[in-house]
Amino acid sequence: MAPPRIDGDKVLLRPLVHEDAPRLTGILNDEAVRRNLRLERPVSLAAEQEFIAALARATDEVVVGIVARPHGRLVGVTGLHHLGDPARQSEFGIFLGGPEEWGKGYGQEATRLIVGYGFEALGLNRVWLHVHADNARGIHAYEKVGFRSEGLLRQAALRDGRFVDVVSMAVLREDWRPASR
């Protein structure tokens, strides 16, 4: 599935290319970013290059880079995964980095754009996500876009050798309207 190019006010979503791999490897290996993701180990440049190459062949996910308009650099990645689900639901994922790029509204806008694409262009009925329960920034951003918490998954993730709780959140097509953008 060809990844879309979507223009927003603060960010631009665009397909990832091979040359993005070093930048993404650096972001993902920033401990401040990684501790919020399901990544127990550092990622290698080769693995990131393979990840980007595989996206071009993927039929069950749409993954795009997030470019910050103010300076034009790639600041993260967002995507919709498991698109083949017969219940027309998909898992949303996102990361931005480093921390100097957080709190500028990039995450909320990127989320709105890709989730809107999922409902409008891909015909999804439900988009869900899992977020570490102590990721207050992420949870707040997702709520503002229209996600609602559906429950706490106790000790469902591992971080620094310890189990941590995870919040399950989702937004339904019937709740997705311009007011939630």
Ligand X SMILES: CC(C)(COP(=O)(O)OP(=O)(O)OC[C@H]1O[C@@H](n2cnc3c(N)ncnc32)[C@H](O)[C@@H]1OP(=O)(O)O)[C@@H](O)C(=O)NCCC(=O)NCCS
The residues of the shown chain that bind ligand X, judged by CB under 6 A, are 33, 36-37, 76, 94-96, 102-108, 129, 131, 135-138, 140-141, 144
Shortest spacing between CB 66 and ligand X, in angstroms? 9
Please tell me whether residue 153 adopts helix, strand or coil conformation.
strand
Would you mind telling me the total number of residues written for the chain in this entry? Answer: 181
Shortest spacing between CB 160 and ligand X, in angstroms? 15
The two three-digit tokens of residue 41, written as one number: 């180990």
Shortest spacing between CB 95 and ligand X, in angstroms? 4
Residues 73 and 52: beta-carbon distance below 8 Å: no
Residues 71 and 57: beta-carbon distance below 8 Å: no
Residue nearest to ligand X (CB): 107
Shortest spacing between CB 88 and ligand X, in angstroms? 22
Measured from the CB atom, is 29 or 135 closer to ligand X?
135
CA-wise closest residue to 56 among 122, 94, 3: 3
Measured from the CB atom, is 118 or 138 closer to ligand X?
138
Measured from the CB atom, is 27 or 83 closer to ligand X?
27
Measured from the CB atom, is 56 or 107 closer to ligand X?
107
Parallel, antiparallel or unpaired: strands 62-68 and 6-7: unpaired
Shortest spacing between CB 161 and ligand X, in angstroms? 19
CA-wise closest residue to 99 among 160, 167, 33: 33
In sequence order, which residues have a C-beta less than 8 Å from that of residue 139 and are 6 or more positions away? 131, 149, 167, 169
Measured from the CB atom, is 88 or 144 closer to ligand X?
144
The torsion angle over the Cα atoms of residues 151, 154, 159 and 162, rounded to 10 degrees, is 160
